[in-house]
Chains A and B, each alone.
Chain A
Amino acid sequence: MDKEAAVPGGPEGAGPAEAALTDEDRRLDELLDLDKHKLSAIPERKANSTERWMKYLGFPAGIAVFLLLYYMPLPAGLTASGQAVLACFSLALIWWISEPVPTYVTSLILMLALVFTNGWDEDHVLSVLGYDVIWLNVLAFVLSSILVKTALAKRLALHLIIRFGHNASKMFLAFMILQLCLAPLIPATAPRAVMTLPLMLVVAAIYGSTSDKSNGFGRNLLLQNLLGVNIFSSGFMTGSTANLIAISMIMSLGGAKVYYTDWMVANLPVVLITMAAMWFIGPRLLIRLKPEEKKPIIPGGIDALRRQLSRMGRVSFQEKKAAAIFGLVIFLWVTDRFHMGWFGFEIDPVMAALVGVIITFLPKVGIIKWSEADIPWHLMIFSAGAYAGGLALDNSGAAKWAIGNLFNALHIVKGTSFLLVYVIIVAVNMYSHMFFTSKTMRTIIMIPMVIAIAQQLGYPVLSLALPAAFTIDWVVSLPISAKPNVILFSTGQYSVLDNLKYGLVAATIGIGVLVVAALTWFRWLGITP
């Protein structure tokens, strides 16, 4: 490490005060030294008995499903490449969940299988590694590294914990409020994940959860943030581009006008109720916290953290530089709508992060060297393969075919009760995120379908299309469902199965709340009949 970049308050920056340190302080230093828990190191995790059964049966189960889908007679409306992609993706999904081979190996196998089964061509598959989501991942980890290296992340996390983090529940709530505040300010979800990631990592470490040895706290924290980043976007019409596309479709194809406040008044309560439910259920039922995981795992408790914070002393020059670089990137993210006027072009989130990363590596001005950036490349490979599978599902038309057939199989006809139609539409839209990697693509496919169904059945377009639009940002069940999911999964704190469990429960609760809303406040607002 550069002399300049010595971590204040950390083992290298402690200096003469080292001798005065107690055992508690030394253990805390060790715990908070994230260099010892590098994300780029592949952790060896001991599987429990259920996981070992899943590994054992997951491998042949994946192959069996692949063979069934690949060799069955081609269903009408599906292309041969679409069938191959469905078969390959199903195999990968089963292997990601059961992990008979590491997730990144499954991704590599998926990429190979897509090419060898003629599901997607080699050029497209290989080019996924150059997609903006992968770049953003790499850049996010470099930016995260400067906050970790300079101990700014540690300082901020200590402040956060001393104020809110006396127990796990309060800590989860603090992060949720943080994500809720950021949602209307920064419409892009990935930057929000990147901004808060270093804080999550340090807080998780204080609660004893690192990438090489994660615990219930870390899994819950990361997954609650995953829900927060995605679902809070749904509370605001400008929360994502896909929301705006859906609204323009509802207005142009359905002839219904929706204002910003209409959206917020109707859907923000749905979001808040669901998130409150997940905050309560997550650590109690889904990934249960052990008693020792409910408090920071530090001898001396909060007092030790206070001591640690005061030992760090004043904010160092390196920390200020890191804050300035990160601040510049955040400034560019937050002000994206003004870029056209200022610069004559728009700086998208990836380019904004690239600006920060370039400064980070510049001699003298910068903070770290390339070798000090902690980039988990194995997880980039996982992301690339998983993204390739998702994109192939979109491009081959397999996702659209599956959703279309699902609607057909449900036999929605004139005379079907509104509530039943409503539940089906909301449920299909909500769970359909598992077949897509792009919210925009999903919106373009699903919303016109819903508008057509509403018109065919004689129900107001708004009564079905708007609730369907409310589900667009609920992309929470798989690491590949959205960019922030890829970024958060790359921390290695939780498994695909954890993500699936958390996401499906959140989505199901969301459907329940949307149904209650349809019977109550959506009626009062004139959305549902």
Chain B
Amino acid sequence: MKTRILFCATAVLVLGLTALAAELPGYHETVNMRADGSAEVRLAFDLPAGGAAGMLIPLSWASPRNVRVQGPAGAAASLVTKDGWGFLAVDAPETAAGTLVVSLEVDGCFKSGRPSAFGNRDLGYRFLNVTFDRIGKFGAELVLPPGYVFNDVGDFAPKAGAQGGGVPYVFGRTGGRDVARLSAEGLKLGEEVRLSCTFKSARRPKPLLCVLIVLAAAYLVFFRGLLKNVSGAGAGKP
């Protein structure tokens, strides 16, 4: 509850300080994680008709670096911070149309040190729409480092409704790497897409395999008495 109040207060503060754009037709974010916890993030969004002047895209990552922009001529993006909240400030002339792609590097997507119990590592992702009336089609892909797999999901948003029936994420694989795909339609101002989950190494412990094989073999030997007189009982064998 406390967290929620804090979150709402922050959102209201940021909303008050940010110039609101009407609608972003589409936004897609791909996070390619590395084993050291860093990641290459690729943001792709459709520029609104009529260009953009100081359009603010809220960032889910602290301290991004190496920002590179690809897209319509004249379009530019830079990092700005307002009240501790990171944004990508986008400027594009009226004539610019199409998709703008911004690549950046981030650190600390997850703690790369010693994992917690069962080899699990925590991973959290959150996109909070604090600048647009509506984002038409939102999508994000969290790509794990090679050799890792998703373990379980802790919390997520938006929540599945009884009518809609779905959850906002789906797990899959791309280029041999585990990926969590998040999506939301019509993300309104103040709404968020969030996923907290754990992931771990894809390797399974070998000792368990050996113990269970030995156990099965031992059972067959020590419990063969179960079959005594079975043939004499006249019942069919399985």
Contact = CB atoms under 8 A, between A and B. Distances in A.
B212 A63 contact: yes
Nearest to A91: B212
Contacts of A382: none
Interface of A is mostly: helix
A95 to B, nearest CB: 12
Contact of A249 (B163, B199, B238): B163
B171 interface: yes
Which of A64, A81, A445, A448 has the most chain B CB atoms inside 10 A of its CB? A81
B162 A245 contact: yes
Contact of A59 (B165, B209, B219): B219
A57 B199 CA distance: 36
Interface string B141-169: 00000000111110000001011111000
A118 B118 contact: yes
B209 A79 contact: no
A276 interface: no
Nearest to B219: A59
B233 interface: yes
A56 B224 contact: yes
Between A49, A50, A396, the greatest number of chain B beta carbons within 10 A of the residue's beta carbon is seen for A49
B188 interface: no
B162 to A, nearest CB: 6
A180 interface: no
A53 interface: yes
A57 B165 contact: no
Interface in A490-505: none
Contact of A100 (B120, B164, B219, B233): B219
A76 B143 CA distance: 13
Nearest to A245: B162
A80 B151 contact: yes
A307 interface: no
A264 interface: no
Nearest to B166: A448
Interface string B92-128: 0000000000000000000000000110100000000
B234 interface: yes
B235 interface: yes
Interface string A160-198: 000000000000000000000000000000000000000
B216 A60 contact: yes
A248 B162 contact: yes
Contacts of A54: 238
A248 B223 CA distance: 54
B5 interface: no
Interface of B: 117-118, 120, 149-153, 160, 162-166, 170-173, 178, 199-200, 202, 204, 208-209, 212-213, 215-217, 219-220, 223-224, 226-227, 229-231, 233-238
20 contacts: A48-B233, A49-B235, A50-B235, A53-B227, A54-B238, A56-B220, A56-B223, A63-B215, A67-B212, A71-B204, A77-B171, A77-B172, A79-B152, A79-B171, A81-B151, A249-B162, A253-B163, A397-B153, A397-B171, A444-B165
